Structure 1
């Protein structure tokens, strides 16, 4: 897995290709090789592919950033297990339904960004319905088929089927299982229903757990409450998760701890590359074909040349955040990035953080030379007010509001100027004035 946001931008953009586009099999490899280029070029690509998306197409969640490969059992073993054995589920004997979902798999095989990886093109065997059953959100099924790659290797392509609003089968996702570097997204689950509110988890020989919500602590994003999945006749149906369309609050993992994929296609109209939420972004212009985040330099380092740029700042924040979920790769520094140094000499990089449709927060990375970096996850940001984050160990306060003049007070004397846009205030500060509006700290 990579935590390089520059490359993630390209991956997300590639996932937004329109249905009429047929990218070459090595497109993802080309994108990876280009991943270190200037961020403005990535944004131009993302914007162009977003236009294609709006013309009508499919997108996929979770292929932008994946956790480490689950190795027990290997992906190839999962694929063979899905192909082997009889169809399971209470619709296993409904020949008409099995034929319908098999035909849907064949018709819609290429309707996924996975086609750019060359895994949808050459069948190497018949399609097999692994499971077909009735859920609380209508009928659902899983269709698997062995596919031959251009280089001769083989993978197992999987189509996940639910029931559309018209009552007919609809493709809700896809994934593939292979070996080596062709392991796919490790999807052992998928969501069905108009609001994607029923989670279907396949029994592929893995002990699986699921979690409904992320937890934000002072220094990380995590999940603390995992529930075991209980399988019956090859599947588990979980319906207490609430609407998941465009939200992705649910996650599944192997009991050993490695995240597994949820193989759904997302709604194109809700999957917009590099969307901002706070309205702080720098407008697009001739030099930047897509809008840039506000780039703010704090304190006395203005004008120096050793500051990380936007791309490097995002990489530093991604590394600070650590492993993140396959279905909700984080959006980092979309509206603003702040760089500077505390009074104690620690380098500071901060920016906005959003996962799924969770509220926007602030992610801060502090690094004192010779010590390990310190990570701070701030509270929910009020778009109408400033960002205010208490830094640990009496390092002070980070206050950010683009365009605003700042000053501070400890309640015992005059207001002290703190510059414009953002500042690191002393730990003893009790108030900050943003423009003319005082804000109490603490």
Structure 2
């Protein structure tokens, strides 16, 4: 099943509701095979509904804690403010607090028998308004959830329900291409944390890790930073291609896919998995070892990694860098659409990994002589190659120097 198929199913399943844009992020971030993650989204991960709207799409089954009837928070004494919020959301406020962005409330509203929708509301131009999507939870319980409040979305509100939660405010890519984070435990007061963070800019760098919950902390309004249309419409396709000499699939397939290795995805982060085509190319080295070259998209960019070794040994993952740091070139086809061209040189004379979706590839050595064809739209060409020609189905060919 392709990501396009998933988007179509989401549209049919949600109807007028608005699934959270980081839904597919969560499906991708589980560390399992992508096919399994795609089945998950159809089998029970549709756990949101538009705030204040209609029937819940699915249910949040784990990681919830009792809500209780007492309103919590430092504004719990303000009955007039609570009533204003409850009228606006047509639900019951169970937490309300002062934040640098103004009052914020956590509320529940009826769903189907035995279930409720849990969400946030904040003051906008002096009026209470629901913020983001709602999470469907068992009646009388709550799942850990978060809101980016304020016009700049630089105030983080986390309803923990007394579940330990740790925050990472940013991440780096380490020398092995892994996502490197430092988590700091948050100190909740009356079941919530309010904290200023750096204003997000087109991406959300934070991560929230629950201490003893089975589900991640749901960020209800990531679309306030990244529109849902961007998150869904630009989800990159993953292309798995077996190159000449690849042989039979290995017995331990998880060894040969970095997205199934610890650290290469970010299960507690809130990424948008947009970016260039994700390639998983399997071939062989000249001495007969298995060779894998893989790209992994993250927030509009992508990392390039490679592995080589015998099938009976777990290979080391090697990081080549970000594609936009000289490993890829954008070209334009006959329809005016931009497409990326991968040209990542491998060390130790292993060759150059090249790929351009639905294009014909040719290469030559030292900018002279005969152009030689590469099989398909992805290949590992000889290390001596110095120039690549890419011919899309429509439009003129593009020639790229291979450094």
Q: Give the TM-score range, shorter chain.
A: 0.5 to 0.7
* Conserved? CA contact 1:188–1:262, under 8 Å: yes
Q: Distance in 1 between matches of 2:265 and 2:173?
A: 14
Match of 2:119 in 1: 159
Work out which of the residue numbers 196, 209, 229 in structure 2 matches 1:270: 229
* Conserved? CA contact 1:391–1:397, under 8 Å: yes
* Conserved? CA contact 2:291–2:308, under 8 Å: yes
1:240 is displaced (CA, Å) by 2.1
Match of 1:175 in 2: 135
Which consecutive residues of structure 2, in runs of 5 or more, have no partner in the other structure? 20-34, 43-49, 52-60, 331-340, 390-398
Secondary structure, counterpart of 2:122 in structure 1: strand
* Conserved? CA contact 2:290–2:308, under 8 Å: yes
Equivalenced residues, count: 335
Q: In the TM superposition, what whole-angstrom CA distance separates every residue of 1:172-205 from its partner, at most 9, and x where no partner exists?
A: 23224449xxx99x43322222343211122422
Q: Distance in 1 between matches of 2:180 and 2:215?
A: 11
1:237 is displaced (CA, Å) by 1.6
Work out which of the residue numbers 356, 368, 384 in structure 1 matches 2:329: 384
Secondary structure, counterpart of 2:70 in structure 1: coil
Secondary structure, counterpart of 1:249 in structure 2: strand
Q: In the TM superposition, what whole-angstrom CA distance separates every residue of 1:19-56 from its partner, at most 9, and x where no partner exists?
A: 63699xxxxxxxxxxxxxxx9xx9xx99xxxxxxxxxx
Q: Distance in 2 between matches of 1:393 and 1:358?
A: 30
Question: Which structure would you say has the larger RCO, counting Cα contacts within 8 Å and 6 or more residues apart?
Answer: 1
Alignment CA distance shift 1:75-1:335 (3 Å): closer
Match of 1:49 in 2: none
Q: Distance in 1 between matches of 2:12 and 2:123?
A: 23
Do residues 85 (structure 1) and 85 (structure 2) align?
no
Q: Distance in 2 between matches of 1:392 and 1:165?
A: 57
Structure with greater strand share of residues:
2
Q: TM-score, normalised by structure 2?
A: 0.63
Secondary structure, counterpart of 1:250 in structure 2: strand
Do residues 369 (structure 1) and 311 (structure 2) align?
yes
Matches within 5 A, 1:315-326: 318-320=259-261, 324-325=266-267
Do residues 141 (structure 1) and 105 (structure 2) align?
yes
1:157 is displaced (CA, Å) by 3.5
Do residues 247 (structure 1) and 207 (structure 2) align?
no
Match of 2:58 in 1: none
* Conserved? CA contact 2:166–2:186, under 8 Å: yes
Secondary structure, counterpart of 2:329 in structure 1: coil
Secondary structure, counterpart of 2:204 in structure 1: coil
Alignment CA distance shift 1:226-1:102 (3 Å): same
Alignment CA distance shift 1:434-1:167 (3 Å): farther
Match of 1:51 in 2: none
Match of 1:419 in 2: 374
Q: TM-score, normalised by structure 1?
A: 0.58
Work out which of the residue numbers 62, 80, 84 in structure 2 matches 1:100: 84
CA RMSD of aligned residues (A): 4.9
Q: Distance in 1 between matches of 2:8 and 2:82?
A: 33
Q: Distance in 1 between matches of 2:402 and 2:222?
A: 40
1:88 is displaced (CA, Å) by 1.6
* Conserved? CA contact 1:241–1:250, under 8 Å: no
Match of 2:354 in 1: 399
* Conserved? CA contact 2:165–2:209, under 8 Å: yes
Secondary structure, counterpart of 2:205 in structure 1: coil
1:264 is displaced (CA, Å) by 1.0
Match of 1:345 in 2: 288
* Conserved? CA contact 2:206–2:270, under 8 Å: no
Q: Distance in 2 between matches of 1:9 and 1:265?
A: 24
